[in-house]
Structure 1
């Protein structure tokens, strides 16, 4: 074998060894471990004999889970655990295009299945570096949740730019396309809210399952603040979009009423023309008006006079208003 080929072979073996180590995906820190798997079948049931039966039941349930779910068991003191599935990434275009991982959390170890940090554009080495300061598996799990929330909050910040542009587009040119944009943004913010609600539930579930002592960890506190920040942003933007929807509905209702009023006035003003025209358009043999020399100008005078009288009556009653006037530029009601 040539020297170059030998080095190439050694390099390939080293790469294969690194891939095998990556497939194991085990992280240890301060007496707790994080076991990462791509599939349920890879789990070693002998990781902790005390949780063997619980792990197997969890695996049976999660193998078919396609949505958010959370369960806890507090039967044995100091052996509590939290398990379930979490959708941590969701597109706004299709419901099926999402990323979901399964988790099994105790004080001493964390198991995740199908969690890919690259999906949330997070550096895996940076994620592990943040775990260097954790004291237990709960803190480690909240580091993961914090990265998930950070990715979603970054998208919400970009959402603010689109919402601000839409706010001024509505004033410049308001039409059905703008209403469509509002509801697209409304759907998007609801998708993000749907992603954050399960994380908020996990936060409450962890405190319920493991007690208040777990809330003293720095990563737990940091992620809780991030949950609060993200949820506040979503709630405020949702309120802003709801205000835009109400505003559009009010403008649309006003314009619709103006259209109905205008058509009503036009129809009313045309009533004398239609009535006199119907009367003198009848084909009876004996109609004295047909023999009148001034019959034609007289009929025009009658039609104009009755129409003018009707118009004056509507103006005096205040039913005309400004509904027949054109709308001004950059105005919603004028």
Structure 2
């Protein structure tokens, strides 16, 4: 499909899967980009290349992963592109970008001076869809933040790391677009920075990266908080087990003593021996408990955890 803009000053050639014959027919008219399709047609990952051999005839080509499922590595969309001032070509680009208006995009392209700026209109739409989805991510993160205070457990920690992985996916999608921005400046110099669509893409990239970095800091803070809480609880558990072991030491010690099978054991003949042994064990245990409490080694192990509290 061919679209022309700005009073036929430049064109956008858009080809889908199954239109390889039409694409090759077009490439015969433009020998400079003839090898482009052969180099990228099997590519399923990000790839960027720049040709600056002829001044005034610079072009950029490659492949871009522009949609990626958060859970499935193989579920992604890749399109191939060739950009010059006179035109740009896209192959296998799906315009079903969320919240994108095809007519509105064409209207923006009509105002673009050349094919390079027209391609940046397309990049701007892709970035806009990223930003809208990142805004939705903020709501999930807010919900997770308060769930961590209400109930801190392994399932919640798993959810925190899932959110962290999602941020890494967003960052991975932004990297090639950021590189495209710099390659355009390398190819076309400072004049490209004055173009409105390049400026819009630059702002959206910076905005998306800022949001991702801020959310990543929040996630990292939540993980550090979880580690502190887990460490504290682990220490409390070890302290509790240690105190319980110490408190039961008199029981075990006296029980071991009177469990011996020596022939001569005077206590066996005592009429009140059982009562004496019980009182001795209770007094020993109580005395040990009071000693630990006086030293402050009991801590908060006898207190229950308060609702909505990290530590108490």
Task: State the Cα RMSD in Å.
Answer: 1.6
- 1:118 equivalent to 2:118? Answer no
| Paired residues for 1:5-44 under 5 Å | 24-29=1-6, 31-39=9-17, 40-43=20-23, 44=26
Give the aligned partner of residue 84 of structure 1. Answer: 62
Choose which of 186, 204, 214 in structure 2 pairs with 1:208: 186
User: Aligned partners of 1:73, 1:271: CA distance in 2, in Å?
Assistant: 81
Give the aligned partner of residue 30 of structure 2. Answer: 48
- 1:239 equivalent to 2:217? Answer yes
Choose which of 157, 160, 175 in structure 2 pairs with 1:197: 175
Cα distance change of structure 1 residues 293 and 65 upon mapping to structure 2, 3 Å threshold: same
SS at match of 1:79: coil
User: Cα distance, 1:329 vs. partner?
Assistant: 1.3
User: Cα distance, 1:286 vs. partner?
Assistant: 2.4
Residues 145-169 of structure 1: CA distance to partner in whole angstroms, max 9, x if unpaired? 0000101111111111111122222
Residues 211-243 of structure 1: CA distance to partner in whole angstroms, max 9, x if unpaired? 111111111111111111111111111111111
Give the aligned partner of residue 305 of structure 2. Answer: 327
SS at match of 2:125: helix
User: Aligned partners of 1:27, 1:274: CA distance in 2, in Å?
Assistant: 92
* Contact 1:272 1:303 (C-alpha < 8 Å) held by counterparts: yes
Give the aligned partner of residue 109 of structure 1. Answer: 87
* Contact 1:117 1:123 (C-alpha < 8 Å) held by counterparts: no
Detail structure 1 runs of 4+ shifted over 6 Å in the superposition. none
Choose which of 243, 246, 252 in structure 2 pairs with 1:274: 252
User: Aligned partners of 1:249, 1:42: CA distance in 2, in Å?
Assistant: 58
User: Aligned partners of 2:256, 2:268: CA distance in 1, in Å?
Assistant: 14
* Contact 1:89 1:120 (C-alpha < 8 Å) held by counterparts: no
Cα distance change of structure 1 residues 25 and 279 upon mapping to structure 2, 3 Å threshold: farther
SS at match of 1:296: helix
TM-score of the two chains, using structure 1 as the length reference: 0.87
Give the aligned partner of residue 165 of structure 1. Answer: 143
TM-score of the two chains, using structure 2 as the length reference: 0.93
User: Aligned partners of 1:300, 1:125: CA distance in 2, in Å?
Assistant: 90
User: Aligned partners of 2:46, 2:236: CA distance in 1, in Å?
Assistant: 48
User: Cα distance, 1:121 vs. partner?
Assistant: 4.3
User: Aligned partners of 1:132, 1:223: CA distance in 2, in Å?
Assistant: 17
Unmatched tracts of structure 1, length 5 or more: 1-23
Residues 18-43 of structure 1: CA distance to partner in whole angstroms, max 9, x if unpaired? xxxxxx33334352211111145532
- 1:219 equivalent to 2:221? Answer no
User: Aligned partners of 1:274, 1:103: CA distance in 2, in Å?
Assistant: 79
